[in-house]
Amino acid sequence: MKKTFAAFVLMMTIFSLQAQIFSGTGGLVSETGQANMFPLTITSLPTDGLNNGFGLLAVAFNITHSRVGDLQVSLVAPDGKTIALSLNNGGDGDNYSLTRFSDNATQHISTGWAPFSGTWLPEERLGELNNGQNGNGTWKLAVTDVVANNQKGNLLGWSLTFGPNATSPLEFTSSNLPIVIVDTYGQTIPDDPKIMVGMKIIDNGPGQRNFLTDTPAYDGYAGFELRGSTSQEFPKKSYGIETWDANGEDLKVSLLGMPEESDWILNANYTDKTLMRNTLAYQLFQEMGHYATRYRHVELVINNNYRGVYVFSEKIKRDKDRVDIAKMKETDNSGDALTGGYIFKIDKTTGSGGDGWTSNYPPLVHPLNQTIFFQYEYPKYNKITPQQKNYISDYVNSFESTLKGPFFDHPDSGWRKYAVENTFIDYFLVNEISKNVDGYRLSTFVHKERDSRGGKLRMGPVWDYDIAFRNANYCAGDVVTGWAYQFPCSSDYWQVPFWWQRLLQDDLYADHLKCRWESLRQNHLTNEWFDHFVDSLALVLDEGQQRNFVKWPILGIYVWPNPQPIPTSYAGEIQALKNFLHTRLAWLDNNMPGFCNPTLIGENDDGVQNLVIYPSPAQERIVIESNQLWDDQLQISLTDLSGKVFGRWNGNLLRRDDGSFVLDVQKIPAGMWIVHMNDGRNHRSGRVVISR
């Protein structure tokens, strides 16, 4: 095999007579999950720096391994800059066999299959290393075996080729998007814990161009770490951020026009080549009147290395401006304080936390003894007390037991006793519009308010839709028809809770769902709304996406789990998304269950569910929930049973981020009252009892 590699080096010498080729030695690739570093010291290159006139042209290596999909291979330059060559490609195939990487290749490494041979496009451009650095020094080939399965590997040898007509780094000086600049102070960014970095945000405001040299809108410190599960296998990483002071303590700040907080996300959206699937889902939930993660598209630079277009967003968190539920302390172990607020989720246990409880009810499909596991999100797994754990698990068990029981659909004592119906309806609609292959079974958040503030389960916020909207080639994720809640892959460990199929056996729920759908389609979520949102965002992203796909040359390239056919341009990706939306919406129009009969729903003008008002009886305040999306002219009034008006309020002043309304009733006399909501187009009403 060594003779074969020597012949390969000779072949490359003939291929480029002006090139200089340097060969390094190999060795065993251990299965520790840590990078095995193979150094190559070079001393005879020109000292005026690597550039497009003379720079790095190619990297080649020979690795024996019986499952190369376990391997990640990167190149580290003398200045410390690292680029990914191949990350977890080749599945269970064998070997990299005389494998060469060049920016001038025509086929991306992710599209091939082991044994890899010939010349390939790397995960990141080699030209990023032709950045003016002195090429003399120690280069390192980093080979990591990320799976300990006794599949031994061996690097037989590797080489670097330098010569004229090299590619150069992407030039980035300014953007129409805000720019996030991170300096890790020479540290490697870990999965956990967060490291302290310097962070600047250039944001000159709407319509203004942002330059790297501009005065930052934010200039301070942050905790920085990798985030994600499967997505960490991609070369473009997502990051978790905490804004910190100089002592490493949380610092609440307002960033990019979003309310003050300390926890943030930089989402890479690598597999989503529209760069907008997550934000489309967030916007959908917001349009329905619920809190959803606020976001801004940005361009990211780390250690003077351009990283592409990202979504800078809020993290799902309990906060008056995010998930607005009661704050809990470790002493809240009895009475009303024990009843909320809580946030829990259904998700993979990778990442932070992972503690929680197993549902007493398995998913409907569980041939491999699959279960549903609920994880503590708030209070955190290391903060939540035993009493709080028992309370929330008992409450969810009561909800599930009732939903599973024979009288589950009773309007008062059935499942609605424990859950707010309209949040389940709207969460269902977002997952079904997007045909989310992970819907209901992963990245699924649920929260519960304190009893004195409503006290029921609410679905959401929505999260993680980058492989939704027909961007997954497995488990019917690429099929425009059918229901996402009827997940078709029984061998997958993560299954859908029984909730969603059972809810649709409740005729009243199905009727409310149908009415909600028809109302949204007529007023807000029209085909024109979707086209306008997608086209408008594509226009904003058009400049940045060009740089993004120079940095990450994957347009027209399969990236797991892209379905076929794969558009070859950004415009093609946008059109494919719009085509999916039009076809999907038409299918939902024709197949949405239920019957929207206004006489079955209530006395309102369009047959949509009446107001949900609680607590009743009330003493200090009431919370009003409605499926309806209200215009700015919304007025809320209170009348007695004869119709006499007691008071009127501007609805927008009472609106909370989750779309509900809070009305102070401390000065309202005891008795039964009618709450009216009217914006000139729509009218809703509901009854409430006030006691003293």
- What number of CA atoms fall less than 13 Å from residue 294's CA on the CB side? 16
77-135 pLDDT per residue, tens: 999 999 999 999 998 899 999 999 999 998 999 888 899 999 999 999 999 999 999 99
Q: Which residue has the tokens 């002006």?
A: 18
Q: Are 504 and 593 in contact (CB under 8 A)?
A: yes
Question: What is the per-residue pLDDT for 505?
Answer: 97
- Top pLDDT among 628 and 586 is at 586
For residues 276-296, average pLDDT: 94
3-state DSSP: the chain helix, strand, coil percent, rounded to 5? 25, 30, 50
Residues 6+ apart with CB under 8 A from 118: 98, 99, 100
Quick one: tokens of 288? 């329905």
Neighbours of 460 (CB within 10 A): 22
Q: Are 273 and 563 in contact (CB under 8 A)?
A: no
| Confidence band for 353, pLDDT divided at 50, 70 and 90 | low
For residues 480 and 581, give the distance between their C-alpha atoms in angstroms, rounded to a whole number: 9
* Sequential DSSP letters for 260-293: SBSEEEEE---S-TTS-HHHHHHHHHHHTTS---
Question: What is the per-residue pLDDT for 681?
Answer: 74
Task: Calculate the average pLDDT of the chain.
Answer: 91
Question: What is the per-residue pLDDT for 10?
Answer: 45
Question: What is the per-residue pLDDT for 628?
Answer: 78
* Sequential DSSP letters for 640-681: -TT--EEEEEEHHHHB-TTS-EEEE-TTSPSEEEEEEEE-SS
| Confidence band for 600, pLDDT divided at 50, 70 and 90 | very low
CA distances from 171 to 176, 213, 306 (A): 15, 14, 9
Closest CA to 622 of 652, 657, 665: 665
In the chain, CATH 2.60.40.10 covers: 610-690
Q: Which residue has the tokens 């934010």?
A: 218
For residues 432 and 584, give the distance between their C-alpha atoms in angstroms, rounded to a whole number: 9
Look up residue 150 and give its amino acid: N
For residues 692 and 682, give the distance between their C-alpha atoms in angstroms, rounded to a whole number: 32
Residues 6+ apart with CB under 8 A from 171: none
Tell me the sheet residues that pair with 396: none
- What number of CA atoms fall less than 13 Å from residue 302's CA on the CB side? 23
For residues 300 and 309, give the distance between their C-alpha atoms in angstroms, rounded to a whole number: 6
SS3 at position 427: helix
Task: Report the relative pairing of strands 153-164 and 96-101 from DSSP bridges.
Answer: unpaired
Question: What is the per-residue pLDDT for 2?
Answer: 47
For residues 22-51, average pLDDT: 93
pLDDT of 626 > 90? The answer is: no
216-235 pLDDT per residue, tens: 999 999 999 999 877 778 88
565-583 pLDDT per residue, tens: 999 999 999 999 999 999 9
For residues 58-85, average pLDDT: 95
SS3 at position 111: helix
Question: What is the per-residue pLDDT for 641?
Answer: 66
For residues 26-32, average pLDDT: 91
- What number of CA atoms fall less than 13 Å from residue 256's CA on the CB side? 22
For residues 436-455, average pLDDT: 95
Quick one: tokens of 428? 């269902």
Buried b (16+ CB within 10 A) or exposed e, 88-125: bbbeebbbbbbbbbbbeeeebbbebebbbeebbbbbbb
Q: Are 274 and 283 in contact (CB under 8 A)?
A: no
**Phi, psi (degrees; rounded to nearest 5) at 202:** -95, 115
For residues 38 and 498, give the distance between their C-alpha atoms in angstroms, rounded to a whole number: 51
In the chain, CATH 2.60.120.260 covers: 2-164
For residues 48-69, average pLDDT: 95
For residues 377-406, average pLDDT: 97
For residues 371 and 354, give the distance between their C-alpha atoms in angstroms, rounded to a whole number: 15
Question: What is the per-residue pLDDT for 603?
Answer: 39
**Phi, psi (degrees; rounded to nearest 5) at 99:** -90, 130
SS3 at position 585: helix
SS3 at position 92: coil
Q: CATH for 610-690?
A: 2.60.40.10
**Phi, psi (degrees; rounded to nearest 5) at 569:** -145, 165
- What number of CA atoms fall less than 13 Å from residue 617's CA on the CB side? 10
For residues 288-311, average pLDDT: 95
For residues 616-641, average pLDDT: 84
Tell me the sheet residues that pair with 138: 41
H helix and E strand count, the chain: 10, 31
648-674 pLDDT per residue, tens: 899 988 988 778 899 998 888 877 788
Architecture of domain 2-164: Sandwich (2.60)
CA distances from 499 to 396, 408, 411, 462, 515 (A): 12, 11, 16, 17, 20
For residues 162 and 50, give the distance between their C-alpha atoms in angstroms, rounded to a whole number: 9
